[in-house]
Amino acid sequence: DTEVTQTPKHLVMGMTNKKSLKCEQHMGHRAMYWYKQKAKKPPELMFVYSYEKLSINESVPSRFSPECPNSSLLNLHLHALQPEDSALYLCASSQGLGYDVYTPTTDTQYFGPGTRLTVL
């Protein structure tokens, strides 16, 4: 099973709302990722978690707050978003980060279907 699930599939929120995106994988992967994808653009990395600890933050605004409650779950908490934050948010997971001694360098990232976010 190479499935990464994301909920909700679609989300519409106002600029004053607080919402959360959820990502789940049951492949035993220890690295999880959040990407943001604007229309007709490639995905842009936002955050990387490794062994439930934040490993990379690509200078993402604080209105995006990631959380990794356990090795299978990854959340993205949203607060006071702007209309320009409207995008497809993709979650991915991999066995490891690809450069530690326990996982191969070519570790594959498996992507979920994404959450389509619209900020009004």
Output 12 or 15, the one with its CB closest to other proteins.
12
Q: Which of 13, 27, 45, 60 binds other proteins (CB under 8 A)?
A: 45
The DSSP code for 9 is S
Residue 112 in contact with other proteins, rule: CB under 8 A: yes
Output 48 or 78, the one with its CB closest to other proteins.
48
- Residues 24 and 39: their CA atoms lie apart, in Å, by 24
Q: Sort strands 53-57 and 44-50 into parallel, antiparallel or unpaired.
A: antiparallel
Residue 66 in contact with other proteins, rule: CB under 8 A: no
Q: Which of 8, 41, 54, 77 binds other proteins (CB under 8 A)?
A: 41
- Residues 8 and 117: their CA atoms lie apart, in Å, by 9
